[in-house]
Amino acid sequence: MKKDCLIYNYAQHYRLGIFKLMDKEIQCDFYFGDKMGDVKKIDYKELKGFKKELKNISLISNFYWQKGALGLLFKKYKRYILLGEYYCLSTWVFLLLAKLTSKKVVLWTHGWYGKETKIIGFIKKIFFSLADDILLYGNHAKKLMINEGFSEDKLHVIYNSLNYNKQIEVRDKLKKANLFSKYFSNNYPVLIFIGRLTKVKKLNYIIEAQNKMFNEGFPVNLVIIGDGEEKSSLLNKVEKFDLQDNVWFVGQLYDEESIAKYIYNSDLCVSPGNVGLTAMHSLVYGTPVITHDNFKNQMPEFESIEDGITGTFFKEDNIDDLVEKIRLWLEKANRAEIRKSCNNKIDHLFNPNYQINVIKRVLFK
């Protein structure tokens, strides 16, 4: 019987890299929830240790229960890694019951954002205090939790990752191509966004910035990869500004080789709302990232952006400042050096190899 068990809300396709390493190097068993909006699911055949899909039962608001999760506590596992979502009520019960055993429970979580209300902060303190150790996506959350009284020895920064091995394989074959000059019939600089088209991403800001840049005599093209609820609104805004010839809605893409060509040949990735995994996808193919500067409203991946080296930050919700930051970056001449810096950030920290070393150190300490 294996000694380690992962219980997660869903088998997100973009976590395949780290899950496969856990499968290989820890030989743990995997249990995943059955749904998460429109996010693509991993093919379970990719994981030898996959055991069962659990049913996520929606309760009130964002709260839910993972049917079948509690029974796993009574299996012969010694160590568990659970997704650290305090609105998963079965995880609360799991943590409390685990206190009556000698079993180790590690939570994998965003932790603290810095915008928690007193009530949410109180709930989170109780919830996270029930875990033996906590895996965090960034140092920002770690610092905030230390300030909240958590022991530093309990907090471990794991960062985040995508399907890194596949991406490196693709990256090594990339070459400059003229796909944008062919499509747009011009040689303007190219801005790109990749991710789900949702309100929280504030993608209308990119189109407004693009329009402003055209009016100021600094034309740029825009490529948007992804789909979602905001697509029709964005199409309307493009039409309003008469930018149809300079905006390319590629649609949803999962083929890594195709994605890589778009990102690699772009000049700059712009994510006006929270940046999330978009930053990592862009940096691994050597394209710097601009996002907003209010870290309370960011996702932990903003830490992959090193100001002036792998991208920069603009004043949140300030389109004039966004335009200024875009112009400054597009005027930089050292594209090869920028590309190398972007690659290095992912190669050193934001990859499954770094993550598996942290996981092993925490589980077996």
Check whether 242 has a pLDDT greater than 70. Answer: yes
Check whether 105 has a pLDDT greater than 70. Answer: yes
Check whether 195 has a pLDDT greater than 70. Answer: yes
Bridge partners for 335 per DSSP:
none
For residues 18-36, give the mean pLDDT: 93
DSSP H helical ranges for the chain: 16-25, 89-98, 118-129, 139-147, 164-171, 179-184, 204-215, 231-240, 256-264, 277-284, 319-330, 335-348, 352-363
Render pLDDT for 275-330 as a digit per residue (tens, 0 to 9): 999 999 999 999 999 999 999 999 999 999 999 999 999 999 999 999 999 999 99
Check whether 333 has a pLDDT greater than 80. Answer: no
For residues 113-125, give the mean pLDDT: 95
Per DSSP bridges, beta strands 64-67 and 50-58 are antiparallel
Check whether 187 has a pLDDT greater than 70. Answer: yes
Check whether 343 has a pLDDT greater than 70. Answer: yes
Q: Which of 235, 172, 227 is nearest to 204 (CA)?
A: 235
pLDDT of 148: 96
Half-sphere exposure of 299 (CA within 13 A, CB side): 16
Bridge partners for 109 per DSSP:
136
Q: Name the residue with tokens 């973009």.
A: 14
Render pLDDT for 246-282 as a digit per residue (tens, 0 to 9): 999 999 998 999 999 999 999 999 999 999 999 999 9
Provide the percentage of residues in the chain whose pLDDT is more than 70. 100
pLDDT of 1: 59
- Tell me the average pLDDT of the chain: 95
pLDDT of 274: 93
pLDDT of 2: 73
